[in-house]
Structure 1
Amino acid sequence: MPDIDRDRAWLLTVDGAPQSYVDLAEPTHLEFEYTRRLAHLVDVLADEGGPLGVLHLGGGALTLPRYVAATRPGSRQDVVEADRGIVALVAEELPLPPGSGIAVHSADARAWVEAAPADSADLVIADVFGGSRVPAHLTSVEYARAAERVLRPGGVYAANLADGAPFAFLRSQLATFAAVFGQLALIAEPAMLRGRRFGNALLVASHIPLDTAALARRTAGDAFPARVEHGPQLARLMRGARPVTDGEAEASPEPPDGAFGIG
């Protein structure tokens, strides 16, 4: 069940696991590592500070939509969250300010993407977990094609994934999105990429070259440093992996006990 812990500022937990951290007084304060990396991606997109059309798959306590609204005024954002309990709890306890430009919808992420208008978003962010696993129906080539259709020319897709060595799931996701998009990058903590720990990795996909240099500078200088893999390094990681279809897609692996915490 979702719950908000006021002793940790505004910490949303689901079944006891930290899910979102919100500072209503300072929406640009981001507590979790992967959220900070998504924010770095938002910051380096074209027209820094200009408004964006963003589709968030997975909403939680709306941490990143609040960040986008604060740093890119005038943005129009749709948030799709399947858990109606979370939607109701957040609306009651952590309401959005008037004129935020954020619309929240209770729906399945895949169904929403397939029904969304084509060329309607500059950025699609997938941060969807069923419990602690990425659902299988958001990992296939068919899903990747549906997400690609929603993006405007030059748009970017980003997904929060979780895996550990030998990275069978992560490698399959890279191959799956490489079958649809021409440009890929991966953002993760060096220790995770070296196989020392289970953790989050951000997959970034586009049809236009990504500003990986700017992204690398921001992620390397963060309080929780990360590395940006692209080009030959990413090709080596992906080598031998193949795209997955709806018929063979599987959820991301179950994390080991204690894999995720606040950081």
Structure 2
Amino acid sequence: MSIVWDERGGATVERDGHPQSYVDPDDPLLLVFEYVQQFALVLEALRPDPAPLAVTHVGGAGMTLARWVHRMHPGSPQIVLEPDVALTELVRRELPLPRGHRIRVRPVPGQEGIGALRDGSADVVVVDAFDDGRVPPGLAGQAWVRELDRVLATDGLVLVNAADEPGLRWVARLCATLSGRFSHVGQLVLREVAKGRRYGNVVVVASRRPLDDVSLSRAAARAAFPSEWRGSAQVARALAGVRPFGEIGEPSPAPPDAGKLRLR
């Protein structure tokens, strides 16, 4: 693992040979990775009130989104589940968290950490955890989705950073699995990924309550990278005949060689 600084004063956190986070210590609102911007767009659209949010992050790395939540929703109690103690220590040393934060890092894997949370204790659960560039199978199956359902508040949101090959078949199975517990599952996706032009990330949004398609479509339209919002009705139609994962899921497809990271 390493932290690579650039001429802009920002830093990329790398793990397993893959870039995990980009952090500008002086500007937590600067979000470089597309999927992190999409996380923020979803929260801005669905949780516009700056009131504190109880957020649980499955996967920590540089804690970019936790820093953003702290700035946009001051006083938010946040839990970060990050089993890599050495990574957390490196980030704390090189990229200190902002003053007054309520971010607590627990050195446990996502499944163990979620299992220890109280019922209905999270307003938002963000799942952004990879093992050697792939979403682990334990964070995709029905057992995992039941735990997400248990810890989420009645009007809570689940946000998942998924990654898949053209065709998005793995993402479809993940959405089918989430649909077993959450009535509304949508996707915010880059247009070039949606059109099957390349491997890429998809932000999956799950909720028990209807998602505001109008606000989310507007959010996609103002994204820095051409994106589209696929509402729950559209996703549900696409899931016809798709088989959900079993109790334990399958790892997401391996990414192609990342090559040189481009900061856009």
Q: Same fold (TM over 0.5)?
A: yes
CA distance in 2, matches of 1:244, 1:17: 26
Say which SS state the counterpart of residue 36 (structure 1) adopts: helix
User: Structure 1's 261 and 148: CA in aligned 2 closer, same or farther, altered over 3 A?
Assistant: farther
The C-alpha deviation readout for 1:47-96, integer Å capped at 9, x for no partner, is 52111000000011010000000011111100111211211101111111
CA distance in 2, matches of 1:129, 1:193: 21
Amino acid at match of 2:214: A
User: Structure 1's 244 and 188: CA in aligned 2 closer, same or farther, altered over 3 A?
Assistant: same
CA distance in 1, matches of 2:190, 2:6: 28
Is 1:235 the counterpart of 2:236 in the alignment? yes
Asked if the contact 1:43–1:49 (Cα under 8 Å) also holds between the matched residues in 2, the reply is no
User: Structure 1's 260 and 157: CA in aligned 2 closer, same or farther, altered over 3 A?
Assistant: farther
Say which SS state the counterpart of residue 78 (structure 1) adopts: strand
Residues 173-212 of structure 1: pairs in structure 2 closer than 5 A: 173-212=174-213
Amino acid at match of 2:95: L
Is 1:250 the counterpart of 2:250 in the alignment? yes
Say which SS state the counterpart of residue 55 (structure 1) adopts: strand
Cα distance, 1:220 vs. partner? 1.6
Residues 125-140 of structure 1: pairs in structure 2 closer than 5 A: 125-140=126-141
Residues 44-63 of structure 1: pairs in structure 2 closer than 5 A: 44-46=45-47, 48-63=49-64
Is 1:93 the counterpart of 2:94 in the alignment? yes
Asked if the contact 1:17–1:261 (Cα under 8 Å) also holds between the matched residues in 2, the reply is no
Identity %: 36
Say which SS state the counterpart of residue 6 (structure 2) adopts: helix
* CA RMSD, Structure 1 to Structure 2 (Å): 1.6
Is 1:158 the counterpart of 2:159 in the alignment? yes
Count of aligned pairs between the two proteins: 261
CA distance in 2, matches of 1:259, 1:16: 10
Say which SS state the counterpart of residue 29 (structure 1) adopts: coil
The C-alpha deviation readout for 1:196-215, integer Å capped at 9, x for no partner, is 11100011000011122112
CA distance in 2, matches of 1:4, 1:221: 30
Is 1:4 the counterpart of 2:24 in the alignment? no
Amino acid at match of 2:255: P
Asked if the contact 1:198–1:259 (Cα under 8 Å) also holds between the matched residues in 2, the reply is no
Gaps of 5+ in 2: none
Asked if the contact 1:56–1:77 (Cα under 8 Å) also holds between the matched residues in 2, the reply is yes
Amino acid at match of 1:238: L
Asked if the contact 1:164–1:198 (Cα under 8 Å) also holds between the matched residues in 2, the reply is yes
Cα distance, 1:258 vs. partner? 3.3
Asked if the contact 1:219–1:225 (Cα under 8 Å) also holds between the matched residues in 2, the reply is yes
Amino acid at match of 2:125: V
TM-score w.r.t. length of structure 1: 0.94
User: Structure 1's 259 and 145: CA in aligned 2 closer, same or farther, altered over 3 A?
Assistant: farther
2:36 is matched with 35
